[in-house]
Amino acid sequence: MSGCLIAFEGIDGSGKSTQVERLASALRAAGHEVCVTREPTDGEHGRKIRALSTRGAPLSLEEELDLFEQDRREHVKELIAPALGRGEVVITDRYFLSTAAYQGSRGLDSDAILRSHEELFPIPDVVFFIDVPPEAALLRVEARGEEMNESYEKLGFLQDVAKLFRSFERAYICPISGEGSPETVHQAVLAQLTARPGLPSL
């Protein structure tokens, strides 16, 4: 029995985390076993990524990419692969498209990162890219009242990241407008889930 891997991607403030929870609830209500996870993880490497990025601590681009790869390798081995093997639907809040877009915007080769990670890690059955104008996304981040991420939550940088996300051309990527209400976006996700063959039924 093989499961299904679904990733939600988008810039900070796109609302993807909300959509992860809404889809998980809908799939559970339909009788599916669902595993919800995120990247960076809460593991050793993920915690280090969060701590360094929040403080804006200097890391070389190569060191940063290596941290993300180590975190993802552990994530796949310890959680994603076993859950898929049990036939579960795994929904992850960020996956390797984020690494390609964010680290690509910082100066690395985004296409090379994407190709490499497609070889190293399970390719999602579908990626829902929640597309929101960076200006609106940043307003949402500020409205949350949380400490700003000094490395990533800046308008110019998010504009570059959004541009890269939009440039990726893969059959498994499904763009969804994130400008509507959370329920409107959720319904668009459900419509695409139903329209794409091989995905969990509702």
Q: How far apart are CA 190 and CA 25, in angstroms?
A: 12
Q: Which residue, among 92, 47, 87, 91, has the nearest Cα to 67 in the 3D structure?
A: 47
List, for residues 14-26, the tens digit of each pLDDT value: 999 999 999 999 9
List, for residues 111-166, the tens digit of each pLDDT value: 999 999 999 999 999 999 999 999 999 888 888 765 555 556 688 999 999 999 99
Q: For the chain, what's the residue count?
A: 202
| Domains along the sequence of the chain with CATH | 4-195 (3.40.50.300)
Tokens of 74: 């552990």
Q: How far apart are CA 158 and CA 161, in angstroms?
A: 5
- Give pTM, 2 decimals: 0.93
Handedness of CA 66, 69, 75, 76 (dihedral sign): negative
